[in-house]
Structure 1
């Protein structure tokens, strides 16, 4: 397998990097991928970085992304001036030895930050000395100045696959087993609930699933089973594609790439049938599961239609959707609200600064949000600039709604739009296992959306709302 080199962001024609600092940045640095390790049951990150870097990254991604919480016990070298002058390899060696004595884990993942990269610490050699002794430990170079936590996540995943999974005893392929590469843990506030629902849907049509991250995963047992899978499912516009390509080269596993997370009956049925066909599952079996799910889904939707059709005079029901989110949720939310609920697409901002090589694919995924309606994503990492585009958008005759982060509160108020928080950072919501994907997730998204609409309408005009 090829080792992933972290990808520096290269501007495309639709993205011009701001000349100075980014205002309201929507991601962490590459070291923030330590949350991806925390999301794997049985794994512990060990960070070789400056003082406070690890704790700041965790609390930024967990605390202000729906107050998710999580187990944060991350050993760190917390290197300072002495290590900058004389090198910090010895200190890292000391820390690893102490960690092995104090903290039990099935896997240790050493991540280096900016300072070791700048001074040239040979972290790889330190880690290899432990690997030669049989310690389950890997090294990922997550230098903050080389990428964000999305590219850092891919670096960490590749390190685990190459230095840990590839060294496990060979195992035969297991019919019906699929590896799922999808949402970025902690960055997406709803990743735990979404991955749980994705697993439920895939198991519902008869597949066995390595979901790999979060409470729905069996932890490192699933990672060790990665080579045994029949195929890899990349359920994301781009995140995970590089990993799947490497696995295809290493183990001959084909890849099924479905860019859009399925939200609602239309997309989820199409998703399950596409996966079922790829896996060779009888269409009748898939259709039976889909029919049972849709029966429940449409019963709830029938009841919602009573509100929707009868309350247009009381509440300002939105007609235009504006989204500020990473590409996975920007695409999923847009396709559902435009394709299923009939809203018109407004401004769609993709915030995670994806690699230039993946941008054409992301743009293509936004075509055909609904028959004859295409979305036009804007790649923009700067909140001020994104808000300027939303502010300038011509919306004559449209009632807007904004799906974004807490930072969109002011622009939403400025254009008179309700705000539904779906992207990082989220400071006005506490998120445990809420999901917005699939059949069940779509119902929760409708609830959250129209509760927000009703609440704002009531606050603006209490008498009309009560009539």
Structure 2
């Protein structure tokens, strides 16, 4: 990447914070027993997995990721003569060697540039009733957020299929965090499913260890509604499902962290679905009681150690965590937001939704959010931010570690890339995740002052 310190602003991005569209192979192997097949140049799949799933919490590749992923590894021959035969051979071999419930063929830049008819090749296997679909995910289509929606739509249209039957009351499809790119997605989706089940829903969580895999995806078409729990990711999928199956959707832009936000979130979903409120309130009351008991224990530290705690914070990361953590820190800890920078390059048509949420962070707090992908520019903005007389706390990525040292502040890594955390099941959302986040924040601060 070009260093822009001594040159005019260019279109280069220093220290990139996302993958390309084929990086959505992570969304594929985040579904139990589903394996991607990549039709791309040598190294493309390896680079995506090493960055998004390894140097980002060291999450591993699971059943169908990492070194398991089949790839055509096309070279000059395929560029000149086309790579369809090579792809056909790889799909045949994958069915012989690998045990999967579904394969998802994903294309890189080269086959899309030279015009390989991937759909035609895949249809040969689909005509034999073999479980395989394809998604055109060349890098010029966008980043891995864009690729994620291409993959979900491909599975829905080519595998889940049509449906004209009744919708099941209380069954919900959840579209939320981007698997693997969000470092804590596994634990977060587990907590989201737990609290939704707690108030009475049957939940298709779709990704991660709590998903039933392809049987759950087959069940998508029967859901009463779709829940989009993110600032924008999943809206395109929900709109597609509304058109395809007549399913309504509920969009809640802020992923809940802490008792206040989580209880409010659950009540909104219960009201939307018109399920039993009494059961929901019993669960909410039980969770809040436990949450505030733990918070009461924490309050002794918070009250006595105030002189050593930061007052202002900055957040650098994708909009889902950026917005959720900002809301939590402002409303439940009383910290002062100094700079919020969203990094995943959300589509322009969704940016006003995100801006509006920041303007209404609290009754007396309205913020201006910035959208920026280049780390040099991001760091320059943070250096110029007024954090007051106390060292700041920065919620960001590995790219912000040196910056935090420079500002004599603390760093909590919350997104891609997170190279100083080993993440297995950690969650920062809901009732339980908020307590884990508090532990992380203040352990980091106390350790830095030692």
Structure 2 length as normaliser, TM-score?
A: 0.95
Post-superposition Cα deviations, 1:321-340, rounded to whole Å, max 9, x if no partner, equal 20001000000110000111
1:198 aligned to which of 181, 185, 192: 192
Q: Which moved more, 1:97-106 or 1:73-82?
A: 97-106
Residue 132 of structure 1 pairs with residue 132 of structure 2: no
Change in 2 beyond 3 A, CA 1:18/1:186: farther
Give how far 1:140 is off: 0.2
Aligned to 1:108: 103
Give 2:283's match in structure 1, choosing from 289, 292, 300.
289
Cα offset, 1:285, TM superposition: 2.2
Which residue of 2 is the match for residue 11 of structure 1?
A: none
Q: Match of 2:4? A: none
2:244 aligned partner: 250
Give 3-state SS (helix, strand or coil) of 2:105's partner: strand
Distance, in Å, in 1 between the alignment partners of 2:245 and 2:115 is 34
TM-aligned CA distance change 1:276 to 1:18, over 3 Å: farther
Q: Where in structure 2 are the equivalents of 1:52-63 lying within 5 Å? A: 52-63=43-54
- Which residue of structure 1 lines up, in the alignment, with residue 5 of structure 2? none
Query: 5 Å matches for 1:38-53?
Result: 38-53=29-44
Q: Which runs of 5+ in 2 are unaligned?
A: 1-7
Tell me which residue corresponds to 2:449: 457
Give the RMSD, CA atoms, in angstroms: 1.3
Residue 408 of structure 1 pairs with residue 403 of structure 2? no
1:375-399, CA deviations, whole angstroms, 9 ceiling, x for partnerless residues?
A: 2211001111001111101233454
- Report how far residue 190 of structure 1 moved: 0.3
**Partner of residue 174 from structure 2, selected from 169, 180, 195:** 180
Shift, 1:283, TM fit? 2.7
Give the match's secondary structure for 1:78: coil
Q: Are residues 1:298 and 2:292 paired?
A: yes
- Paired position in structure 1 for 2:337: 345
User: In the alignment, is the contact (CA less than 8 A) between 2:200 and 2:276 conserved in 1?
Assistant: no
**TM-superposed deviation, 1:235:** 0.2
Aligned pairs for 1:226-245 (under 5 A) are 226-245=220-239
Partner of 2:328: 336
**Deviation by residue 1:261-313 (Cα, 9 ceiling, x = unmatched):** 00001100100000010111233322211110011100110111100111234
Within-5 A mapping of 1:283-432: 283-313=277-307, 316-432=308-424
Question: How far, CA to CA, are the matches of 2:288 and 2:15 in structure 1?
Answer: 40
Q: Distance in 2 between matches of 1:93 and 1:251?
A: 32
How far apart, CA to CA, are the structure 1 residues paired with 2:9 and 2:115? Answer: 30
Please give the secondary structure, in 2, of the residue aligned with 1:253.
coil
Equivalent residue for 1:29? 20
For residues 43-93 of structure 1, the C-alpha deviation after alignment (integer angstroms, 9 at most, x for no partner) is: 111110000111111111111110000233111100000000111011101
Question: What are the Cα deviations for residues 117-158 of structure 1, in whole angstroms up to 9, with x where unaligned?
Answer: 111111111111111121111110000122000000000000
1:156 corresponds to which residue? 151
Shift of 1:369: 1.4
User: What is the deviation of 1:171?
Assistant: 5.2
Residue aligning to 1:462: none
**Which residue in the other structure is 2:254 paired with?**
260
CA distance in 2, matches of 1:321, 1:349: 12
Q: Give me the whole-angstrom Cα distance separating, in 1, the residues matched to 2:54 and 2:92.
A: 30
Structure 1 residues 399 and 287 mapped into 2: Cα distance closer, same or farther (>3 Å)? farther
Deviation at residue 18 of structure 1 after TM alignment? 5.5
1:374 deviates by 1.7
In structure 2, distance between residues paired with 1:56 and 1:428 = 19
Distance 1:18 1:227 in 2: 48
- So what's the TM-score if we normalise by structure 1? 0.92
